[in-house]
Amino acid sequence: MKNLILITISILVLSGCATIFSNSSDPVSFNSVPEGAKVQINGMNVGRTPVTVPVKRSISPPQVQLKLDGYEPQYIMLQNSFAGVGFLNILFWPGFIIDAATGTMMKYEPLSYEIELEEKK
């Protein structure tokens, strides 16, 4: 029983509020004109437009590339902002550090991107 109590207390102390109360990823949608562009996040293929993928939260947002034959590749950086639940950790430094390290103190916004591709010249 003592071990269970010790484990429970350790989990609460070592977990940040954002880690406990929010998701570690956000569903981000990508669409292109024309549709069918290959979507890569940080160099990894995640599908073709239109597509919605879970993107792991991070302090530094990932780079997204859209590629389609006959069109110029387009690059975008996802926009992120401070998640409100992170304010709960201002006075609780171990949790703040964990939320910062895991990126859960951030959230992606907007959650939908529409990119118009330009034909190659």
Q: Is the pLDDT of residue 33 over 80?
A: yes
Q: Say if 82 falls within a structural domain.
A: yes
How far is it, in rounded angstroms, from Cα 64 to Cα 37?
A: 12
SS3 assignment for 35-73: CCCEEEECCEEEEECCEEEEEECCCCCCEEEEECCCECC
Q: Can you give the residue range of the structural domain that contains 47?
A: 2-116
Domain count across the chain: 1
In a domain? residue 61: yes
Task: Classify residue 121: in a domain, yes or no.
Answer: no
102 in any annotated domain: yes
What's the pTM value of the predicted model, to 2 decimals?
Answer: 0.70
Check whether 6 has a pLDDT greater than 70: no
Has residue 26 been placed in a domain? yes
Q: How do residues 64-101 score in pLDDT, each as one tens digit?
A: 999 999 999 999 999 887 666 555 555 555 555 555 55
